[in-house]
Amino acid sequence: MTDLPVVENQTARGESEKNSGTGAGGSISALNKGRFSHNLLANLISFALAIGIGLAFTPYLIHHLGIAAYGLVPLTVTLTSYLGLITMALNAVVGRYLTIEMEKGDMRSANVIFNTSLFGVSALALVIVLIGVMGSIFIDSLIKIPHGYEAQARLLLLFCVGSFLLIQLATPFLVSSFCCNRLDIQSTINSANLILRVIVVVLIFNFAAPRMWQVGVGYMVAAAFTLVCSVLNWRMLTPQLSIALRDFSVKALRQLTSTGFWVVISQLGTMLLLSVDLLIVNRLFGPDDGGRYGAILQWSILLRGIAGTVSGVFAPTMMYFYAHNDNDGLVRYAKRSVRLLGILIGLPVGLVCGFSRPLLTIWLDPSYAPLATLLVVMTVHLSLNLAYLPLHSITQATNQVRVPGIVQIIAGFINLGS
């Protein structure tokens, strides 16, 4: 397979830049090899922090907002995440192409990929803003809202859309940490985002009457901070990448989106499998039951986050093996990754299932204890379903994303129909 041939066949402009920044035939990630333990430790610390904040913040919000109003918070965040399908066609595969070109030392092609991603995402951001504004106007047609909370729900959605927009703009800059195998920096930024989000909400609640839209303000401030840190990260790790509109390539955009299309299809199937249930519960049973379900769902989200955090550490190394045509090394590394993740995720899943009733009693209050069976049903299968996550990096590295996308979307529609 030829990666971005349209980039490599452009005019000689910038040919002298081809090996700049890495040396002839040099490798960006070679400068950062052996960082697996650092990345894994940083990611685990980041996710441990996320778990602690998530477990403490959920009852905090329920106490200050009420269960019905709280239920709209995770539901609105879920609705906003659907907008990610618009930009995912670009963002999902940029790391692959950029890593391969930087491993080759071809900074000319790398700059074309980077700028195509950056300006492409910026253009799509306008679409996201339009959809978000329209969604806020008709939000009561999308979800059931407790009487008197309509204006707050609209503001919450607008702030969540704004924060989502800022995160999307930050994503092309964060790819630098992926290409350079410096996921510890990305984890640090994510941790700061979580902490700042909570601090802003707690401060607002302490100085004003708590309202659900104020949670959206916390998301927005934290997202703006993430964007600033992402730009600084890009300048520090990859100064050889520069912002230049002339490096935007329509042909490169088509190739990126042709690969990204199947990643979008796969992600849509994942959303139908994992996220649509919260919307369905809200529509069928109302905001109160939706709030209770949303609270229980946090444990499944946390466990999936653990698996995603660990599996993400393996991705840069898999890209490195593929870029150097070391298929045997890629297969061996993937097998070890699946075994390790299966062991790591099995323990917390077992603990959550085994102690589901006392867990809900202590975490929330005794009235949630009858939902222990629901918690078990939502988490027990994760010990198997999450162990294979590192294999997604292989399908993206080899650009074999069509079949997984088709399988995932079929499974999602089956889940929706059942």
Q: What is the mean pLDDT of residues 108-118?
A: 89
Percentage of residues of the chain with pLDDT beyond 90: 10
pTM over 0.85: no
pLDDT at 23 over 80: no
Question: Is there a contact between 260 and 92 (Cβ–Cβ < 8 Å)?
Answer: yes
Q: CA-to-CA distance for 97 and 7, rounded, in angstroms?
A: 11
Does the structure show a pLDDT above 80 at 402? no
Mean pLDDT over 291-304 rounds to 82
Question: CA-to-CA distance for 411 and 415, rounded, in angstroms?
Answer: 6
Instruction: Give the contacts of 392 (CB within 8 A, at least 6 positions apart).
Output: 311, 404
What is the rounded average pLDDT of the residues 189-195? 89
Helix (H, G, I), strand (E, B) or coil at 4: coil
Quote the DSSP letter at residue 377: H
Lowest mean pLDDT among 60-74, 198-212, 310-324, 400-414: 400-414
Extract the tokens encoding 103.
């491993």
* Largest Cα–Cα separation, the chain: 70
Q: Which of 8-12, 46-50, 316-320 has the lowest mean pLDDT?
A: 8-12
Residue type, 71: G
* Residues 145-179 pLDDT 10s: 888 888 888 899 899 888 988 988 898 898 888 77
- Of 316, 381, 333, residue with least CA distance to 40: 316
325-351 pLDDT, tens digit per residue, is 888 888 888 888 888 888 888 888 888
The pLDDT value given to residue 268: 73
Question: 3-class DSSP state for residue 28?
Answer: coil
Strands in 106-202 per DSSP E: none
Amino acid identity, position 78? T
Find the mean pLDDT for residues 131-137.
Answer: 82
Question: To 5 degrees, how large is the angle CA 271–CA 299–CA 262?
Answer: 20
Lowest mean pLDDT among 227-231, 273-277, 282-286, 410-414: 273-277
Higher pLDDT: 348 or 395? It is 348
User: Closest Cα partner for 185 from 240, 242, 226?
Assistant: 226
Per-residue pLDDT of 245-279, as tens digits, reads: 888 888 888 877 776 677 777 777 766 666 667 77
